[in-house]
Homo-oligomer: A and B are copies of this chain.
Amino acid sequence: MSETRTSTLKQTSRLVELIDEIARKGRNASKILGKVASRSKDEALLKMAAAILSEKSYIIEENRKDLEDAKSKGQSKAFIDRLTFNQNRIKAMAEGLKEIAALRDPVGEVLGMRRRPNGLLVGKMRIPLGVIGIIYESRPNVTGDGAGLCLKAGNAVILRGGSESLRSNLAIGELMRHALTKADLPKDSIQVIPITDRSAILELLKLDNYIDVIIPRGGEGLIRFVTENSRIPVLKHYKGVCHIFVDESANIDMAENICINAKIQRPGVCNAVETLLVHEKMAKEFLPKVVRKFEENGVEIRGCERTKKITPQIKRAKEEDWYEEYLDLILSVKVVSNIEDAIAHIEKYGSDHTEAIVTRDYEKAQTFLSKVNSSTVLVNASTRFSDGFELGLGAEIGISTSKLHAFGPMGVEELTITKFIIFGDGQIRN
């Protein structure tokens, strides 16, 4: 065997051992964490926030090294922006941890206690999921937010961020782990994987005996890679091709406000609208008005043939436009004959993320609500409300487009599961 090959094998087996050890430590920490009082978890969260604020120059210094490497590798401006951790972003992360500390603890909540005919009292109690693996791109803020939410729900977390953010993530992780120790919680409740090699992810995704769920956060490529290689259940959040259907009965000003807000308030996020569907009886009055407003705001419109007839200055949409998540100041527009056509379009081209109807018609509102099975369905409101904080979840770990466990924005409750609890007085089964 050649020397190189021997050394590669040794490296591989060291990597396997290290990942296995991390996962095992996570499992052990989760067993303790699942039973501690809310007070201890909140204390740890507040200590984490304080440590991050007081040691911010350390984080910024480590982040600077990451940034230098990324720049020398010629990463894009958007990439550099996401990777950058300045005073404001550090403050925001610390604030986020304080907000998580202030949330109600979901663990221990009892749901739906009912008496059975034989006298048994049967209910469900929320418990932590156990160990959560978060795999994300080079956004150091996820290290703090993700760890905080997992901890609040009593879960141990294993973090694997993009390789370009490794030093930033390790610095944040180190401060959080120190805070855990000071709050008498196991420091392995939060672990940052120190290996940038992709094989570390592959190894992690095999350990279904230690890890309960994997949450990938990032682009479609990352999510597909994780899904295809994981033996552990994955809570995916694929893209958001969100639609607004403006019905013939819509209040025209309300429709315009909602459409503009849903597109331009923050075009780069998954709950921004990508396709506007307009009822044919509304098109002539509504389209010229709203298209002008869009154009004033720098939005490029790509319309169907009927749309182009009414507003000839726009581009013609191609078939692939209807599938597109632009994440940019671009909008596709289609005139439809009725609500059924609108729903059929959403079913064919949509991504099960978020859809809205603007209408004054009771029956159409109900039809849209019951027949569109996307993770968030709105009547007369902007798609931008499909967000954990806006929906009252307190914070958000991601938006699931998987129809299992959680569908739509996920808060701390979605990081728990329930067990049955049963109070008897000697019942046996006949």
Contacts and interface: CB of A to CB of B under 8 A. Distances in A.
Interface of A: 31, 34-35, 108, 114, 116, 120, 122, 125, 127-130, 208, 212-213, 227-228, 231, 233-234, 251, 254, 257-258, 260-262, 265, 347, 365, 369-371, 373-382, 384-386, 390-392, 402-409, 417-429
Given A369-B421, A381-B423, 15 more contacts: A125-B369, A125-B370, A129-B403, A130-B403, A228-B231, A233-B234, A233-B402, A251-B426, A261-B429, A377-B421, A377-B422, A378-B421, A378-B423, A380-B425, A404-B405
A373 B27 CA distance: 14
Given A227-B231, A375-B419, A407-B417, A381 B257 contact: no
A251 B31 CA distance: 31
A125 B371 CA distance: 11
A425 B379 CA distance: 8
Contacts of A258: 426, 428
A426 B35 contact: no
A380 B233 contact: no
| Closest 6 A/B residue pairs (Cβ) | A381-B424, A261-B428, A384-B429, A405-B405, A254-B426, A378-B422
B391 A122 contact: yes
Given A392-B116, A402-B233, A376 B420 contact: yes
A377 B122 CA distance: 10
B212 A404 contact: yes
B427 A382 contact: yes
A427 to B, nearest CB: 4
Contacts of A369: 125, 421
Nearest to A123: B391
Nearest to A416: B403
A403 B417 CA distance: 6
Contacts of A406: 417
